[in-house]
A and B are shown apart, each in its own frame.
Chain A
């Protein structure tokens, strides 16, 4: 696609793209390239000499049980967060998608958590469910649950998933509502005339027509869970207890902070980059499909 009406100038266009190009090259390509190069190098303990070791850093990384666990954990968190927030958001969107009084009020009251930063989400949830002073922990204990997310790994993981899903509901709700409103009313009416009850109409008409939106949101939610859970985890559990809430991004962060093995840290970054590129590619393929759906 190109414009027919254009301007002629030799230098001006370069001057106009220069700022963005400079920033992208310095703060994006250069560091990304450094990460790739570093991931093939091995530094000795004193940082005095480096040697080229091909894929040794990667091989070593995948041999590490802790790394493998972090991969599995990250994907598990991502799916759990995506599925729980998508289902709640879909339920709410279906309920809000009828011409009823207070429609915009409902939307306003449901979308604002999008604006809450991940570290704040972490603070809010750990405060509610803190083992000794949390408001909700009292009730859990009264119900006989031995609740202590600071000591119990599974409970800590549950807390991270709940908090992240809570934040994500608003975003999904907004997109589901838009998706539902794009479904022509005539289709629903036709199904109703054919005698399909509301539940049946939902599963046979609405849900299939909504599937592109669902798939799109699934990918977005997984990417969100990869990165934005960092803030939640960091203020809530610091990856603990033990390593039960350490995700891939959290691992890169903590190991880099300790200094230590540059090659391994770089290899972890490169693996993350590849994962995100794959997810984005899936999303782009899907966007093309949506056009012809």
Chain B
């Protein structure tokens, strides 16, 4: 612009790097701690440089788990988290896209009533109805199951609204053209609408996968068996014992492993992530 940009530009770069350092510091410390000896950390003597126990700590974390508190390999917890996150993401997209299709492309009794019934769920996260939901899931014998972990978290309207909005922008000519070709409603959905929705589905998937992987309160309540623990629940249980007994390198390795998949998704699929984030908040 009008002013000399030279010095300002340097200041901007410096402020940004300071911001990045602040944001990255806690994670750096976690990575460093996960490569060190527990005794050193417990004494408050932790070094700020990586130690030499990387392979040993991660091997024990993934394959064996902590010796005292959880007794469950973190590899298994990650698998549980992965299954739960996939069920939530895929399940929500699947039921939402077909119900949005029905609401946009058909006229049927109670159409608007059904739309509103779904729409209202937008407002209330699972946390506010946690114990009544727990009771239902218990009555349905779904405690300690993947159905119990994922179904209550699928019950929300964001994805339905998103697909409805998108379908409204699809030109009517497409439907007329495929009708002339003799296609019925299911054929049109499968051959025309679904391919057009691919980017929307991918963006939504990225967001839902992260949200699913990061679920905490709900899995904490409904999983009691060690082998059903998700990684977020597992890490909390590792910290329950007396501070002196906490196996910090393993806790920190678990924290790093818990961050890895969602952070990878955000960085590797940045475009889809940003798109999904902006669209689900509209």
- Residues on A lying within 8 angstroms of B by beta carbon are 1, 3-10, 12-14, 16-17, 19-21, 23-32, 34-35, 38, 88, 91-92, 95-96, 98, 100, 102, 106-120, 123-125, 127-128, 130, 132-135, 137-138, 166, 169-171, 174-175, 178, 188-189, 192-193, 197-198, 220, 227, 230-231, 234-235, 249, 252-253, 256, 265-266, 269, 272-273, 276-277, 280, 287
A269 and B131 in contact, given A17-B99, A115-B259 (Cβ under 8 angstroms): yes
A31 and B23 in contact, given A3-B168, A133-B44 (Cβ under 8 angstroms): no
From the candidates B23, B26, B118, B136, name the one contacting A21 in the complex (CB within 8 A).
Answer: B118
Q: Are B151 and A109 in contact (CB under 8 A)?
A: no
Chain A interface, DSSP helix/strand/loop, else mixed = helix
Q: Are B12 and A269 in contact (CB under 8 A)?
A: no
A276 and B125 in contact, given A6-B106, A256-B130 (Cβ under 8 angstroms): yes
Q: Are B106 and A280 in contact (CB under 8 A)?
A: no
Q: Are A95 and B15 in contact (CB under 8 A)?
A: yes
From the candidates A113, A276, A277, A280, name the one contacting B23 in the complex (CB within 8 A).
Answer: A113
Within 8 A of A (CB), among B227-282: 232, 235-236, 239, 243, 248, 251-252, 255, 258-259, 262-263, 265-267, 270, 273-274, 277-278, 281-282
Q: Are B128 and A133 in contact (CB under 8 A)?
A: no
**Stretch among B51-59, B63-71, B152-160, B194-202 lining the A interface:** B152-160
How far apart are the CA atoms of A235 and B217 in the complex, in Å?
A: 11
Nearest CB on B from A8, distance (A): 8
Q: Are A34 and B132 in contact (CB under 8 A)?
A: yes
Chain A contacts for B107, CB-based, 8 A: 6
Q: Are B106 and A12 in contact (CB under 8 A)?
A: yes
Within 8 A of A (CB), among B162-220: 167-168, 172, 175-176, 184-186, 188, 210, 213-214, 216-217, 220
Nearest CB on B from A172, distance (A): 12
Q: Are B12 and A95 in contact (CB under 8 A)?
A: yes
A123 and B239 in contact, given A112-B263, A273-B124 (Cβ under 8 angstroms): yes
Is B60 at the interface (CB under 8 A from chain A)? no
How far apart are the CA atoms of A24 and B107 in the complex, in Å?
A: 21
How far apart are the CA atoms of A231 and B123 in the complex, in Å?
A: 20
How far apart are the CA atoms of A38 and B129 in the complex, in Å?
A: 12
Question: Which of A137, A178, A235: most chain B Cβ within 10 A?
Answer: A235
Q: Are B95 and A88 in contact (CB under 8 A)?
A: no
Jot down 23 A-B pairs with beta carbons below 8 A, ordered by A.
A7-B188, A9-B106, A12-B106, A13-B106, A28-B152, A106-B16, A106-B20, A108-B270, A109-B23, A110-B20, A112-B263, A125-B26, A127-B29, A127-B30, A133-B42, A133-B46, A135-B46, A166-B23, A169-B19, A198-B8, A230-B127, A273-B129, A277-B123
B206, closest chain A residue (CB): A115
From the candidates B15, B151, B232, name the one contacting A27 in the complex (CB within 8 A).
Answer: B151
Q: Are A120 and B103 in contact (CB under 8 A)?
A: no
Chain B contacts for A115, CB-based, 8 A: 210, 214, 259, 262-263, 265-266
How far apart are the CA atoms of A137 and B2 in the complex, in Å?
A: 46
Q: Are B44 and A276 in contact (CB under 8 A)?
A: no
Is B9 at the interface (CB under 8 A from chain A)? yes
Q: Are B121 and A24 in contact (CB under 8 A)?
A: yes
How far apart are the CA atoms of A7 and B172 in the complex, in Å?
A: 11
A273 and B136 in contact, given A20-B95, A113-B23, A124-B27 (Cβ under 8 angstroms): no
Is B135 at the interface (CB under 8 A from chain A)? yes
Chain B interface, DSSP helix/strand/loop, else mixed = helix
From the candidates A106, A107, A227, name the one contacting B127 in the complex (CB within 8 A).
Answer: A227
Question: Which of B9, B125, B216, B251: most chain A Cβ within 10 A?
Answer: B216
Q: Are A235 and B130 in contact (CB under 8 A)?
A: no
Within 8 A of A (CB), among B101-144: 101-108, 111, 114, 117-118, 121-125, 127-133, 135-137
How far apart are the CA atoms of A4 and B16 in the complex, in Å?
A: 51
How far apart are the CA atoms of A29 and B107 in the complex, in Å?
A: 25
Chain A contacts for B130, CB-based, 8 A: 252-253, 256, 269
Question: Which of A25, A198, A269: most chain B Cβ within 10 A?
Answer: A269
Chain A contacts for B186, CB-based, 8 A: 12
Q: Are B132 and A117 in contact (CB under 8 A)?
A: no
Is B41 at the interface (CB under 8 A from chain A)? yes
Chain B contacts for A25, CB-based, 8 A: 117
Q: Are B155 and A28 in contact (CB under 8 A)?
A: yes
Chain A contacts for B76, CB-based, 8 A: none
How far apart are the CA atoms of A151 and B98 in the complex, in Å?
A: 53
Q: Are A269 and B129 in contact (CB under 8 A)?
A: yes
A193 and B23 in contact, given A6-B105, A123-B235 (Cβ under 8 angstroms): no
Chain A contacts for B277, CB-based, 8 A: 114, 171, 174
How far apart are the CA atoms of A132 and B127 in the complex, in Å?
A: 33
Question: Which of B106, B258, B270, B277: most chain A Cβ within 10 A?
Answer: B106
- Per CB-CB distance, the 9 closest pairs between chain A and chain B, nearest first, are A31-B132, A115-B262, A117-B214, A16-B102, A5-B172, A13-B106, A34-B132, A13-B102, A124-B26
Q: Are B262 and A20 in contact (CB under 8 A)?
A: no
A189, closest chain B residue (CB): B1
